[in-house]
Amino acid sequence: MGTLVLHQLLAQMIKPMAPVGSRVLSQMILYRKLIKLLRRNIGFTLRLGRIKPVESLSRFLFKGDVRAIDGNVKPGVFNPPRNSNEISVYRLDGLGSHTIWRIGLFFVEIPRGKPVIARAHISVEETLNVHSSLSIRRSYIFPHPRHADIVNKSILVNKSSAARTQKETEDQALQQLIREDFARIASRNGVDFR
């Protein structure tokens, strides 16, 4: 979370906490208020548990990620960052629309510096059925407890030059198939625009 955003959240919380007599509220009360504020504003929780097959995963989308003609998601949306085999998604089941878009704002839009315009949905079960090398790893705290990564275990990251030449074409072909399958499934499931 950006420093400015965190500062604004803390300012909202501390403002009503004027000293009571000569005492200031204890750290425990401050901690509880912080967690309550985070839970209310950005869906923060430490009690999500294991990822279930019926759960829905969402990928936040930017301008150019959706085809204007038919509203379908472009395969490039599911490209992992360079030197990575992980695709960032969020577990948003059970959250209201307002909270979901706040997560998109604070944890995707502000860090990336680009406005989020929509989100694509794909279930855990659909994700794991695309290819046997895929798994889903949840984040516990950073960047958000509802964050998860779709991990492609068959792709080597930070390959040596010898390994790169041997597996590079195979990896690229596999990644392209996975991206196309994810885009097809996400388009079929529908895109929620802001």
List, in order, residues 6 or more apart from 115 with CB less than 8 Å away.
Answer: 62, 63, 109
| 43 within 8 A of 100, measured Cβ to Cβ | yes
Co-location of 68 and 155 in the same domain: yes
3 state DSSP class of 194:
coil
Is the pLDDT at 79 greater than 80? The verdict is yes
Residue 51 placed within a domain:
no
Chain centroid to Cα 15, Å, comes to: 30
Please tell me the distance from the alpha carbon of residue 93 to that of residue 81, in angstroms, as a whole number. Answer: 25
| 89 within 8 A of 58, measured Cβ to Cβ | yes
Residue 71 placed within a domain:
yes
Mean pLDDT over residues 13-26, rounded? 47
Residue 48 placed within a domain:
no
- What is the pTM assigned to this prediction? 0.70
* 162-184 residue pLDDT tens: 555 666 777 778 888 989 999 99
Residue 126 placed within a domain:
yes
Residue numbers of the domain that contains 89? 56-193
Q: Give the residue carrying structure tokens 């995707």.
A: 108
Co-location of 82 and 106 in the same domain: yes
Please tell me the distance from the alpha carbon of residue 176 to that of residue 187, in angstroms, as a whole number. Answer: 16
Poorest-pLDDT segment among 36-40, 76-80, 151-155, 189-193:
36-40
Residue 49 placed within a domain:
no
Query: Residue 25: its pLDDT value, please?
Result: 45
3 state DSSP class of 67:
coil
Residue 47 placed within a domain:
no
Co-location of 127 and 68 in the same domain: yes
Co-location of 130 and 106 in the same domain: yes
Q: Which residue has the higher pLDDT, 26 or 138?
A: 138
Residue 46 placed within a domain:
no
Co-location of 181 and 89 in the same domain: yes
Co-location of 35 and 72 in the same domain: no
| 160 within 8 A of 54, measured Cβ to Cβ | no
Provide the domain count of the chain.
2
List, in order, residues 6 or more apart from 7 with CB less than 8 Å away.
Answer: none
Co-location of 93 and 31 in the same domain: no
| 84 within 8 A of 157, measured Cβ to Cβ | yes
Q: What percent of the chain lies above the pLDDT cut of 70?
A: 67
Q: Which residue has the higher pLDDT, 53 or 25?
A: 53
Residue 85 placed within a domain:
yes
